[in-house]
């Protein structure tokens, strides 16, 4: 944190000491009231002893550490916005004149959609755009948090704030700086509000009830002392009162809530309310799309499967001929795969001159019609072992040879298939892959196995969610064999194959009727009804406005797999809140038995309760020191969150209760005894 940031946090923390601000937090408001009572009493009686001053200072620190926690937590969130805005405003660009090719350096604010800029190795991409020329490794860590550079080429989108690691690219600007991704995120962070969720409101009521209870105890204790003829010292009484109040959770309650919103913002996920984050922690069922959520969404070739009477090389050559002009991601992936296997060898020029039929959703196939290059009948395809002399003779007669790839069911209708066609197709499907049929002349000669690779770490995250008792359902448009194989690989017990987008709605409704909390992801108009009824609905920013309006969370990066991360953030938030609450209440119980025996030492039974054996003035000041400084000590934990571990909800609760509940009882005794002994050893009071 910079000096300026530190001063901002300190200023904000002092402004929040206003009773008008603190009234929304009854615990800290009562602690501040106790401070004012002690201060007024000390001023009215002229009490200026070091002991009295120490009590007043410690009472003030207790309250101030609470407002400091709030201010620091919000600063951590808002500073991200300031960093993005200042960075984006300082960017410059090398603008290229489309006519002359001349370059001129301009600020990012001067760029307009349609402008062409060049970005070289080591330079920052100043604004959102699309690559029109070149290929480069790009570091997007500033905006995505992913430290590994990604390779991007023509037609790929780039985000302002990313850094070109190698080579150079020309980028067409698609947005003004004010509309860019970085500025949009910064504004959302700056303007984000955090309404309380139901769990937080319930905790707020519980903590307030404890505050009322301990206020009642203090009043009763005051009356008891008066009845015994003992005139209580208001300073000591107020000190004891503040020690009893659940100030730890009262001070950190806001910081814990802010941390959940902040973690989502770091993931570029905007939560529309605190309730949405809490719902993520209560999720019972997660509805998972396959493509893009658990898989990378890009099918990659992994195997060539020749059919009866044909060789792998023949299938590879046919796949090359049908893909060499295919600009789809799948077509490019096949060419890369064939290159890696050393199968690219042949007359590329001839292949490029053949008549190409593009892939369409209607035909579900693509390929070429091989033709003679010149009228002399030159055997231009002789470098392909696939093409027989008899086939070349056919070229003279018919003028073309079809070489196609496509969906097995479509290809089966158009071409002859060997006896083992269905068997091989089903075998690939059982592997969780997709078969792509390759045909040459009038027959399907082989298959290419395409696999949509699982995202890195997704199996571990799913395993963690399952261990918490969360049910996962895989929803996919794939046929049953593929869906079953993917579900088995992921460890997901339930799956819905051949699902339509609207099926999510009925599934979500049926699960909610069972009283379950549902999380799902979507981006289309068809997804909107399901997103609206889901307890946690994550919409993609690239999706329709209807979907984004219906959902209670929006992912600016449009990555469906974040649904799993969102649920884990919610679980961590609830775990953190529960753990610190258990610690705080356990602390109060311990401090009660530390200070009370010393306060009522005149009663015959008090000696049995005096575990630490500290004099009253030492016990009070030691408890106050511990009570005040435990708050800043726990701020990092509140912001970072309590680590979540594998296990059922009961196992997690039991573990955290033992660590934070029992620890919250034992720690005050040890810490206060240690502080008290140090005070007496140094004769400080």
SS3 556: coil
- Catalytic residues, by residue number, are 289
Task: Describe the chain by its helix, strand, coil percentages, rounded to 5.
Answer: 55, 15, 30
Using only C-alpha atoms, what is the Rg of the chain? 34
The structure tokens listed for 508 are 């979500």
Q: For residues 679 and 62, give the distance between their C-alpha atoms in angstroms, rounded to a whole number.
A: 19
Q: Both ends of the chain: CA-CA distance in Å? A: 36
Return the closest-CA partner of residue 179 out of 271, 92, 268, 108: 108
Return the closest-CA partner of residue 626 out of 73, 248, 64: 248
The Cα angle at residue 550 between residues 548 and 554, in degrees rounded to 5: 35
Distance of CA 240 to the CA centre of its chain: 43
The structure tokens listed for 60 are 């003030």
The structure tokens listed for 514 are 């069972």
The structure tokens listed for 296 are 């990378």
Q: For residues 231 and 227, give the distance between their C-alpha atoms in angstroms, rounded to a whole number.
A: 9
DSSP structure class, residue 111: -
Helix axes 616-640 and 234-244, enclosed angle (nearest 10) = 30
Q: For residues 495 and 476, give the distance between their C-alpha atoms in angstroms, rounded to a whole number.
A: 8
Element (H, E) at 173: strand 168-173
Element (H, E) at 519: strand 518-522
Q: What count of other Cβ atoms lies within 10 Å of the Cβ of residue 369?
A: 15
The structure tokens listed for 668 are 């005050």
Q: For residues 71 and 172, give the distance between their C-alpha atoms in angstroms, rounded to a whole number.
A: 41
Q: Sign of the CA dihedral 99, 103, 109, 115?
A: positive
Q: Phi, psi (5° rounding) for residue 232?
A: -70, 145
Q: For residues 291 and 477, give the distance between their C-alpha atoms in angstroms, rounded to a whole number.
A: 9
3-state secondary structure 122-145: CCECCCCEEEEECCEEEECHHHHC
Q: For residues 529 and 509, give the distance between their C-alpha atoms in angstroms, rounded to a whole number.
A: 10
Q: For residues 606 and 587, give the distance between their C-alpha atoms in angstroms, rounded to a whole number.
A: 20
């Amino acid at each position: 944190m910079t000096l300026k940031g530190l001063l901002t946090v300190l200023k904000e923390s002092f402004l929040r000491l206003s009773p008008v601000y603190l009234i929304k937090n009854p615990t800290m408001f009562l602690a501040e009231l106790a401070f004012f009572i002690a201060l007024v009493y000390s001023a009215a009686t002229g009490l200026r002893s070091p002991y009295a001053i120490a009590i007043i200072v410690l009472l003030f620190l207790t309250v101030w550490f609470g407002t400091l926690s709030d201010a620091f937590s919000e600063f951590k969130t808002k500073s991200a916005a300031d960093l993005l805005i200042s960075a984006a405003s300082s960017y410059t660009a090398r603008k290229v004149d489309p006519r002359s090719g001349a370059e001129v350096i301009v600020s990012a604010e001067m760029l307009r959609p349609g402008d062409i800029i060049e970005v070289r190795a080591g330079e920052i991409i100043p604004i959102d755009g699309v690559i029109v020329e070149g290929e480069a490794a790009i570091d997007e860590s500033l905006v995505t948090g992913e430290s590994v550079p990604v390779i991007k080429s023509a037609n790929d989108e780039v985000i302002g704030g990313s850094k070109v690691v190698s080579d150079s690219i020309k980028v067409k600007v698609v947005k003004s700086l004010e509309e860019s991704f970085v500025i949009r995120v910064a504004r959302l962070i700056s303007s984000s509000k955090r309404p309380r969720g139901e769990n937080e409101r319930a905790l707020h009521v519980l903590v307030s009830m404890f505050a009322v209870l301990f206020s009642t105890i203090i009043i009763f204790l005051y009356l008891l002392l008066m009845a015994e003829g003992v005139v209580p010292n208001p300073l000591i009484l107020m000190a004891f009162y503040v020690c009893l109040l659940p100030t730890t959770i009262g001070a950190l309650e806001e910081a814990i809530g802010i941390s959940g919103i902040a973690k989502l913002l770091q993931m570029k996920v905007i939560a529309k309310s605190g309730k949405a984050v809490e719902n993520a922690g209560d999720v019972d069922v997660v509805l998972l799309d396959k493509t893009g959520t658990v898989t990378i969404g890009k099918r990659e070739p992994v195997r060539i499967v020749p059919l009866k009477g044909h060789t792998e090389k023949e299938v590879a050559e046919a796949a090359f001929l049908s893909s060499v002009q295919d600009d789809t991601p799948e077509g490019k992936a096949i060419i890369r795969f064939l290159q890696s296997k050393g199968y690219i060898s042949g007359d590329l020029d001839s292949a490029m001159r053949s008549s190409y039929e593009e892939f369409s959703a209607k035909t579900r196939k693509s390929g070429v019609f091989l033709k003679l290059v010149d009228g002399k009948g030159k055997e231009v395809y002789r470098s392909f072992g696939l093409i027989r002399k008899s086939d070349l003779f056919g070229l003279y007669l018919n003028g073309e040879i079809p070489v196609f790839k496509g969906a097995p069911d479509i290809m089966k209708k158009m071409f002859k298939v060997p006896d083992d066609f269905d068997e091989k197709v089903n075998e690939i499907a059982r592997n969780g892959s997709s078969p792509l049929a390759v045909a040459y002349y009038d027959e399907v000669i082989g298959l290419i196995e395409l696999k949509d690779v699982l995202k890195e770490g997704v199996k571990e995250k799913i395993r963690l969610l399952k261990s918490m008792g969360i049910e996962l359902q895989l929803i996919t448009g794939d046929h049953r064999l593929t869906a079953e194989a993917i579900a088995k690989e992921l460890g997901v017990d339930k799956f819905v194959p051949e699902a339509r987008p609207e099926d999510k709605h009925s599934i979500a409704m049926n699960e909610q009727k069972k009283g379950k909390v549902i999380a799902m992801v979507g981006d289309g108009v068809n997804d909107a009804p399901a997103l609206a009824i889901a307890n946690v609905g994550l919409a993609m920013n690239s999706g329709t406005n209807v979907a984004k309006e219906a959902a209670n969370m929006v992912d600016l990066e449009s990555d469906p797999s974040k649904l799993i991360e969102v649920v884990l953030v919610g679980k961590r938030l609830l775990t953190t809140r529960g753990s610190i609450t258990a610690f705080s209440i356990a602390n109060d119980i311990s401090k009660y038995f530390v200070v009370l025996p010393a306060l009522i030492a005149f009663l015959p039974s008090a000696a049995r309760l005096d575990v630490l054996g500290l004099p009253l003035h030492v016990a009070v000041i030691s408890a106050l020191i511990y009570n005040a400084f435990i708050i800043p000590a726990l701020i990092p934990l509140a912001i970072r969150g309590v680590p979540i571990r594998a296990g059922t909800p009961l196992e997690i609760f039991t573990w955290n209760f033992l660590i934070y509940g029992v620890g919250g009882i034992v720690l005050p005794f040890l810490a206060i005894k240690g502080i008290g002994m140090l005070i007496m050893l140094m004769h400080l009071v």
